Amino acid sequence: MELEDIYKQFHKPLMVFIMKRVSNPNIAEDIVQDVFTKITASITSLKEEEKIRSWIYNITRNAIIDYYRSKKPTTVFPSELVDVNQLENHDLSKELSACIRPMVNQLRHKYKEAIELTELQGMSQKELSRHLGMSFSGAKSRVQRGRLKLKELLIACCHIEADSYGNIIDFHNEINVSGDSCKHSNDCACK
């Protein structure tokens, strides 16, 4: 099969396939171009022409994966909250930790207790399960839900920028649509 025929036959279906996975049309077009570059470079390695469709879609899936791997987020929040003792080692983290306490206090009691004991006081989740008289998996779930709710509060209040290792490099108060700062701004260091 000629490259021109491959392009005519597969360009639109590949765009649809990629757009389902990448919502930006410009990025999708870049990925399609990357796919056709790879097809051009390695068409000679295709041994069975009847398998061209699966071969092309395999290249496309890999190109989408490569795109997401190469995408470097500028705003991240670590999936694990940092221990307060570790926060003292870094000034920005130390300032941001001032935001955490008032937000922890906004959580429902069961999540507040789980976060305070594990993240702020250093209790293990196993110890938490014994302390609360619940299963280990129940304690883990409670801590995870508490972290998620705390993360939502933090992200709503503070714009946090981190490097690729998750180290905080900058943060500032998030301004909402009406131009007001978040409701935690009196307690928050993100100013």
pLDDT tens digit sequence for 92-150: 555 666 667 788 889 999 999 999 999 888 899 999 999 999 999 999 999 999 999 98
Residues 1, 11: Cα–Cα separation, whole Å: 15
Sign of CA dihedral 146, 148, 153, 154: positive
Check if CATH label 1.10.10.10 holds for domain 84-173: yes
Q: Which residues pair with 172 in a beta bridge?
A: 159
Residues 146, 152: Cα–Cα separation, whole Å: 10
155-182 average pLDDT score: 63
Model pLDDT for residues 36-60, shown as the tens digit of each residue: 999 998 888 888 878 888 889 989 9
Using alpha carbons, select from 10, 41, 14 the residue that is nearest to residue 29.
14
Residues 118, 123: Cα–Cα separation, whole Å: 4
Write down the pLDDT at residue 89.
Answer: 38
Write down the pLDDT at residue 113.
Answer: 94
SS3 track for 47-79: CCHHHHHHHHHHHHHHHHHHHHHHCCCCCCCCC
Q: With beta carbons less than 8 A apart as the criterion, state whether 96 and 160 touch.
A: yes
pTM of the model: 0.45
Helix axes 136-157, 125-132, angle to 10 degrees: 110
- Which stretches within the chain are classed as H helix? 3-19, 25-42, 52-70, 84-87, 91-106, 109-115, 125-132, 136-157
Write down the pLDDT at residue 85.
Answer: 41
Q: Where are the domains of the chain?
A: 3-70, 84-173
Model pLDDT for residues 2-29, shown as the tens digit of each residue: 888 888 999 999 999 999 888 888 999 9
CATH hierarchy code of domain 3-70: 1.10.1740.10
b/e map 124-135, b = 16+ CB within 10 Å: ebeebbeeeeee
Q: With beta carbons less than 8 A apart as the criterion, state whether 100 and 115 touch.
A: no
Is 70 exceeded by the pLDDT of residue 66?
A: yes
Is 90 exceeded by the pLDDT of residue 179?
A: no
- Average pLDDT of the chain is 78
